[in-house]
A and B are shown apart, each in its own frame.
Chain A
Amino acid sequence: MFLSSIKKVLVLSVIIIFGMLFTVSSVSAQTEMDMWTFVNAHAEFYEMMAENWNQENPDRAITLNTQVLPFNQMHDKLNIALQTGMGAPDIVDIEIGKFPGILENNAETLVDLSSVIDEYRDDILEARLAPYSTPDNKVYGIPTHVGTYLMYYNVDMLEEAGVSIDDIETWDDYLEAGKKVSKDTDGDGENDQFMLAVPSEEASAFDGMSRQLGSNYFDQDGNVILDREENIRTLKRLKDYVYKYEIADVVTDYHEQNFYNALNNEKYASIFMPQWYMIRFTDFMPDLKGKIRVRPLPAWPNGEGTLSTMGGGTGTAVTQEASDVELAKEFLAYAKLTREAGVKIWTDLGFDPIVTDAYNDESFQEKFPYFGNEKVMLTIQDLQSEIQPLYFSDLLTRLRDQLNEETLYEIFENGGDVEKNIKEAAEKLRAEQ
């Protein structure tokens, strides 16, 4: 009696399972793909690109299910999903700072995208692939933007101090201009209007200047080069701006409302950040409309280094769990590397694309009232040839934490010794290697 009922259950479940298999195979004309991201606008962008793809490739149509998760949660969840081999999406946006760590632990669960990238290699800024590549030239992420480093000048403040921004060619010129514009406005004996703000809890300023010199955190093989002479020189210069010349103020970071307010209230005459900071200006600093000009970074004296570099970024990856790996790869390349995609990355997301040809589209001729009616994207186009590759290692997160919480804080907030602090940090990181 008992046994026969077990048999019945078994037979029934077999029927149900086969039935399900049948329905799935008969319905799936479109391939379902899950995608995770931590930015709403990115999700909308990929959905739009999926629609375009479906129109052009009706026989290989996809249904893209995007899911937007909070930054840390998404990366933690992804890491666990990849490690356990369960529940990872087909396609995923990974922030550049998280990328090396996730890649190190999951290289076999992410897909090498070189085969689809090769087709576009000549049409894109190849240097931008470096942060998402391994030393054996496998590429695991497709970049979203270049993040061209730019100087944003408040031209009103500088003109009032008698400085013409186009006369600023080197960091020495920048310092001289800074001396003119920085002043004590309320008569308490301390400057309260500055040329610049240096952040003590993020590395943006250090990154921009040291990368101009082809230096930064790691060399091509992933060795820590934090205490290289170029980096020490960069930090000393920034520290002198704060303590010796008093043309720079120390802030925590560039990404909070209080800082936006300070910029908006004309406390700082300039800031250098990647191209995507344009969006922060237009979104959070309405009073600066018409006053901001976008220029290349000042050059290092003696003609050393480049006029720009890259900053920030998101690499989009395909996982081995994808229902159709080849299709996912092709769609991703289509959504990010075609000329059309490059144009949309600018028009819809507001980023400087890595697709070189996209810059010839007429939408890049746009004049911005906010930025003095200048054709900003053409300035950026001219800087593309200045951008050199940048290398990371899986120690990146640790290194960033070390810089943001201790080293930069010690140097800028407490006026600590540059060489001592940076050497200590480098040694500490090498011990983890």
Chain B
Amino acid sequence: MLKNLFYNKKVVPWIFITPFLLFFTVFKVWPIVYSAYLSLHEMSGLNTSNFVGLQNYFEVFSDSDFLKAVWNNTKYMIGTMITLIPIPLIFAVLLDSKHCKGKNIYKAILFIPTLTSLVIAAAVFKILLYEGEAGIINTIIGLFGFSPQKWLISPYLTIPSVILIATWRWTGMNLIYFTTGLTGISQELYESASIDGANMLQRFFYITVPLLKPIIIFVATLNLIGGYKLFTEVFMLWDGGASPGKSALTMAVLLYRTAFSYFELGYASTIGFVMALIILVLSLIQLKITGFFNEEE
């Protein structure tokens, strides 16, 4: 009987994917379903719950902390769009040039930050960004005549500080995406453009950028998602995410502390769902605008 089962073409595939399905259901589907359930309840700890319908959802949109967090995430996301697309793109083009020597060394140097532990990186940046005159970054900007800045204290500089770290950390990764994209562009295009008299800038804007568009969209989408999920940097730079004036409070930090410091699992689940919804909607809008859904011409 067992033998027949193993030879049945309809049943066997299911048997093979059962382990995966089991794990997927237990560790992915179930938590989502359960947190949807939690988001409709007021929880006191894990064990006592009180059904409140959509009240948590109404509350979230009038919660000043949450709105502040969304705005902080947005500022950070815009910041990473400004730094993390042009900078790696320019590096990629420069490293792709045949005049560049020792490409691999540069690539390695730029890629190393991606491999470092974020926890350690944040600790190091905490020292670099020290607000006193003796702070390393303050010393550097002092050479150019700027006065020392309170990087991690002034509410205007907290998000820029996080963007600085993100730029340092993710430039290498995006560089890899762009470099891979560049290898797909045929050299003949550049040659024929040169013959037609296009200069370097024209070749960059009329050949490189349009042909890299799918990669740019991909990187921009990653930036968007990463921007709204920001957690570790903030959590590490300010112990437990306690940034001055809540100027770097993010949705994920708020979710974490609502769940694990204030023990309000219901409300925390609601924050999680709204956060996922924001990311989903914005990603769709972005992909729509950039023409990702257009039929291939």
By beta carbon, the residue of chain A nearest B259 is A76
Contact A101 B263 (CB under 8 A): yes
Contact B246 A405 (CB under 8 A): yes
Smallest Cβ distance from A84 to chain B, in angstroms? 7
Q: Does A40 contact B (CB under 8 A)?
A: no
The answer to whether B242 and A397 touch across the interface, beta carbons within 8 angstroms, is no
Contact A405 B244 (CB under 8 A): yes
Q: Is A72 an interface residue (CB 8 A)?
A: yes
B267: shortest Cβ distance to chain A, in Å?
Answer: 11
Nearest opposing residue in chain A for B246, CB measure: A405
B263 engages A201 (CB within 8 Å): no
Interface size class of B (residues with CB under 8 A): 20 to 34
A410 CB–B CB distance under 8 Å: yes
Structural contact, A406 and B46, CB atoms closer than 8 A = no
Question: Contact between A405 and B45 (Cβ–Cβ < 8 Å)?
Answer: no
Contact across chains for A405 and B44 when beta carbons are under 8 A apart: no
B80 on the A face (CB < 8 A): no
Q: Can you name the residue of chain A whose Cβ is closest to the Cβ of B2?
A: A2
The 8 A CB mask of B253-297 against A (1 = contact, 0 = none) is 000010011110000000000000000000000000000000000
Partner of B45, one of A72, A106, A200: A106
List chain A residues, Cβ under 8 A from B246. Answer: 405-406
Q: Once the chains bind, are B153 and A413 in contact (CB under 8 Å)?
A: yes
Partner of B244 from the list A72, A84, A105, A200 (CB cut-off 8 Å) is: A200
A79 touches B262 (CB 8 A): no
CB distance from A323 to the nearest CB of B (A): 23
Give A397 to B242 CA distance when docked, in angstroms: 12
Which residues of B have CB within 8 Å of A413? 153, 244-245
Task: Say if the beta carbon of B132 comes within 8 Å of chain A.
Answer: yes
**Smallest CB separation, B39 vs chain A (Å):** 18
The residues of B that contact A84 with a CB separation of less than 8 Å are: 46
Question: Which residues in B have their C-beta under 8 angstroms from that of A252?
Answer: 152-153, 244
Chain A residues, Cβ within 8 Å of B131:
258
By a CB distance below 8 angstroms, the chain B residues around A200 are 244
Contact A405 B132 (CB under 8 A): no
Residues 9 to 54 of chain B near chain A (Cβ within 8 Å): 44-47
Q: Choose from B240, B244, B257, B263 the contact partner of A79 (Cβ within 8 Å).
A: B263
Task: Find the A residue at minimum CB distance from B64.
Answer: A428
List A contacts of B262 (CB < 8 A).
101, 397-398
The reply to whether A83 and B45 contact each other, CB–CB distance below 8 Å, is yes
CA distance A79 to B152 in the complex (A): 31
Determine how close the nearest CB of chain B comes to the CB of A199; give it in whole angstroms.
11
For B261, what are the chain A residues with a Cβ–Cβ distance below 8 Å? 101, 397-398, 401
Question: Contacts of B263 on A, CB cut-off 8 Å?
Answer: 79, 101, 104-105, 394
Q: Is the CB of B245 within 8 A of A406?
A: yes
- Taken together as a complex, chains A and B put the C-alpha atoms of A410 and B46 apart, in Å, by 35
| Minimal beta-carbon separation of B16 from chain A (angstroms) | 22
CB distance from A111 to the nearest CB of B (A): 17
B243 on interface, CB distance cutoff 8 Å: yes
Residues of chain B with a CB closer than 8 A to A79's CB: 260, 263
Collect the chain A residues with CB atoms within 8 Å of residue B2's CB: 2
A65 within 8 A of B: no
Task: Verify if B218 is at the interface (C-beta below 8 Å from A).
Answer: no
B130 at the interface (CB under 8 A from A): yes
A258 close to B130 (CB less than 8 A): yes
CB pair A405–B243 under 8 Å, yes or no, is yes
With most chain A CB atoms within 10 A of its CB, the pick from B2, B44, B153 is B153
A409 within 8 A of partner (CB):
yes
Chain B min CB distance to A325 (Å): 20
With both chains docked as a complex, state the minimum distance between the C-beta of B195 and any C-beta of chain A, in angstroms: 60
A106 to B46, CA, bound (A): 10
**Closest Cβ–Cβ distance, residue A310 to chain B (whole Å):** 22
User: Considering the chains assembled together, what is the distance between the CA atoms of A297 and B244 in angstroms?
Assistant: 29
Measured in the bound complex, the distance between the Cα atoms of B132 and A160 in whole Å is 26
In the complex, what residues of A have CB within 8 A of residue B242's CB?
201, 401, 404-405
In the complex, chain B residues whose CB is within 8 Å of the CB of A410: 245
Docked CA distance A158–B78 (Å): 51
- Verify A105–B245 contact, CB threshold 8 A: no
Contact call B153/A105, Cβ cutoff below 8 A: no
Q: Is A258's CB under 8 angstroms from B244's CB?
A: no
The residues of B that contact A83 with a CB separation of less than 8 Å are: 45-47
Q: With CB as the reference atom, state the residue of chain B lying closest to A253.
A: B239
Within the complex, what minimum Cβ distance (angstroms) separates B142 from chain A? 15
- Contacting residues, chain A, for B45 (C-beta < 8 A): 83, 104-106
State in angstroms the CA–CA spacing of A394 and B131 once bound together.
34
How far, in Å, is B59 (CB) from chain A's closest CB?
11
**Cα(A146)–Cα(B243), bound, Å:** 30
Q: Is the CB of A401 within 8 A of B257?
A: yes
Residue of B nearest to A200 (CB): B244
Is there contact, CB below 8 Å, between A409 and B244?
yes
- In Å, the complex CA distance between A49 and B174 comes to 55
Ordered by A's residue number, 30 sampled pairs between the chains whose C-beta atoms are within 8 Å are A2-B2, A76-B260, A79-B260, A83-B46, A83-B47, A101-B261, A101-B262, A101-B263, A104-B44, A104-B45, A104-B263, A105-B44, A105-B45, A106-B45, A201-B244, A252-B152, A252-B244, A258-B131, A394-B263, A397-B261, A401-B242, A404-B242, A405-B242, A405-B245, A405-B249, A406-B245, A409-B244, A409-B245, A410-B245, A414-B245
- 11 more CB-based (< 8 A) A-B contacts, given A105-B263, A397-B261: A79-B263, A83-B47, A84-B46, A101-B261, A101-B262, A105-B45, A201-B244, A252-B153, A258-B130, A258-B131, A406-B246
Which 3 A-B pairs give the minimum distances between C-beta atoms? A105-B45, A83-B46, A397-B261
